[in-house]
Structures are given as structure tokens and as C-alpha cells.
Amino acid sequence: MLIVGAGGLGTPLAQYLAAAGVGTIGIIDNDEVEESNLQRQVIHGTRDIGRPKVASAKDSIKQINPLVKVETYNMRLTAENAENIISEYDVVADASDNYPTRYLVNDTCALLGKPDVFGAMYQFEGQVSVYYAEHGPCFRCMYPAPPPAGLVPSCAMGGVVGVLPGVIGTLQANEVIKLIVGGGKNLIGRVVAFDAWNLKWRELKIHKNDNCPICGKNRTITEIEDFDYEDFCGLTQQKEEESEVEGIEPKELKRRIDEGDKITIIDVREPHERAIAKFPEAKVIPIGQLERRQKELDDTVDTVFVCKEGKRSILAVNTLREAGYTGPLYNLKGGTNAWAREVDKDFPVY
Ligand SMILES: [Zn+2]
């Protein structure tokens, strides 16, 4: 099995799978151990500071179980090397911390028919799933478009409670073991989310998206190497300034809905967010599909974009403008959180 990332999530994955006696463990990571990693990446110790993470992880695995064969890749997983590396393994665990890698792992696994045991976390929340395109939805079915670059800080930037990757990575190891030995009830088609601060678990059912570009009926991504993951995730170009986008206040939007005003409301939130609460009168178009589906909008009426905090909706407006759309576009100021504050107290804040 292959572990992508030798950090917080990779730590329990490597430790438990080594202890379980998984025959071959591959680890890919291009980072070196830093002191600030040690609070959560307990596979590394103070003596390892400055060493490549894969080398330090290999030593720890060998200490736990010298019979395990460890393959290390002190490099980034890229569109150029992903197929070669991933094709060597039966099961892949995504323990990375960034969106380009998540899409890359997902797409390569989908094309090669491998399961992608996914884990991710932010501050006090984490989630786990098994994205296995042959048997259920993939990561792209769940998240057709990445969040705008810069909106979701990494663990290094946003911080994470050190125990959380221990919990999430251990759950990933549990899924890997079930996939290897067969049996049990695995997480294909389900996402389990864990809130460490309030100690709450949630489970969401997720479904295959027929329009998924990698596992849907009309696959549009057929070559990993041809896809620019950095660009897709907005890391190579900064979007326009936010200030040029016109906003609409929640109360104003409510008034216009109540008066039956002709207006189009587009919800650009993720499926798991809409599962928490649907926005009234809204049509759903993910940001990644806006350009292609702009003809569904009536450019003679006002279109209002809605997201959680009023930031992705600005990106949505800019995306359409860049695509040449000329009709009037607005974002709901402050998103659904402001809506909950000012208009509908029962609307969930998450
Ligand atoms: Zn898919």
C-alpha cells in the first residue's frame, strides 16, 4: 500500500499498518521534518529535525516491524510520476494536505482502478472516506471544484489540534486493513466527519455524479499528465480583486424573494454543505461548472450567488465575468452565515 504524505495523517497510517504486518509500504513526501511538525507527526522525533520525512518514517516503521518492506519516494507526487508510482500499489491512502494532490491521487486511482482511502482535516474537524470509482463515488463526485486558493489554509497555516490527525489517520488505517483483508463495512459511498472540539461524529451518504469528469458516463479527463492540477486549484493565477463585485444584503434578498421579484439564486456550496441546509429558491451550480453552464442563466435578470461566507460567491461572479457573461451578477454578502444571523435564525450555521 502507498501512503501519500508522511505528516500528521501519514503517521498513524504508517505505524498501524507496519504493526499489522502489511507487506510493502510505500511513502511519498518531499518535506523535511521541522520542529513545528512534532506536535502531530509523532512518527518523527526531535532527533529527526532536518531529515527527509520519508527517511525518518522508514526508520520508525523498521523499528516497529523490520519485516515490512518500505519504499520511500523523497519527492512530490506529480502528474508526471503519479501513474508510475501508484500503479505499483493495491491500495492508496491520501494523507496529503493540499487540493492539487487530492485531485491528482483521486484521478490516478480512478483511472487505474485503485481505492483512494481519503483523510483530511482542518483545525478541529476531520473527515474520512474511501473513494473507489469502480464501486462508488470518487473525490471529484463529492467535490467537483476545489475551494478558491487561499480560502482554506493548510494545517501548517491554520493550525490543527495534534490528536486530530491521530484519530483521522487511524480511521484511514482501519479502512486500508479492511480493503486488504476483504470484508467489513467500508466507507465507500460514505463520509464520516469528526468534530474533535465538540466531540461529534456525522455521517453523510454520497453518490456517484454521472457528470463526473473522471468516473462519470462521459469521462473528459483521460490522461493525468494532460491535466494541470495547480492551475485547476487556482494556485498559479490570482483571481481579480474582490472589491469589484457587487453585493446584496441578506434582508434585501429576502424582500425580493418575498415580493416574487424575478431573480435567479445560485448556490455554489459543496454537496456536504447543502446536505446540512438547502438555501431557499436556489438552483445549484458548482463553481467548476459555471463557465460551461452559463447559458442556463437569464442575463436579463439579476443573478445572486450564495455560499457560506460570501467569498466563494465572489469567485463565482469573477469566474462568470472572465468567461464573458454580461448579465447582472451579485453575491450574497456574508453568505448563508449572514442569512442565518439577519433573516432566518433557524438556518444552520456551520
Ligand atoms: Zn467521480
Could you read off the pLDDT of 113-123 as tens digits, one per residue?
999 999 999 87
Catalytic residue among 109, 155, 212, 215: 155
Same domain, 320 and 179: no
CATH number at residue 129: 3.40.50.720
Domain finish residue from 232, 251, 278:
232
Q: Say whether 155 is catalytic.
A: yes
For ligand 1, the distance from its centroid to the CA atom of residue 301, given in whole angstroms, is: 33
Closest Cα to residue 266, out of 293, 241, 245?
Answer: 293
pTM recorded for the entire structure: 0.69
Is 347 part of any domain? no
Instruction: Using DSSP, state whether 322 is helix, strand or coil.
Output: helix
For ligand 1, the distance from its centroid to the CA atom of residue 330, given in whole angstroms, is: 30
CATH number at residue 329: 3.40.250.10
- Whole domain around residue 83: which residue ranges? 2-232
Same domain, 60 and 137: yes
What is the spatial distance between Cα 180 and Cα 195, in angstroms, rounded to a whole number? Answer: 28
Cβ neighbours, 10 Å, residue 8? 28
Q: Say whether 233 is catalytic.
A: no
The gap between the terminal CA atoms of the chain, to the nearest Å, is 35
Catalytic residue among 141, 212, 215, 307: 307
Is 237 part of any domain? no
Same domain, 252 and 221: no
pLDDT digits (tens, 9 = 90+) for 214-246: 999 988 888 898 888 988 887 654 444 445 788
Which segments of 259-334 does DSSP mark as H helices, in order?
271-276, 312-322
What is the spatial distance between Cα 92 and Cα 17, in angstroms, rounded to a whole number? Answer: 12
For ligand 1, the distance from its centroid to the CA atom of residue 214, given in whole angstroms, is: 5
303's enclosing H/E stretch is strand 302-306
pLDDT digits (tens, 9 = 90+) for 280-338: 999 999 888 888 899 999 999 999 999 988 888 888 998 898 889 999 999 999 999 99
Number of domains in the chain: 2
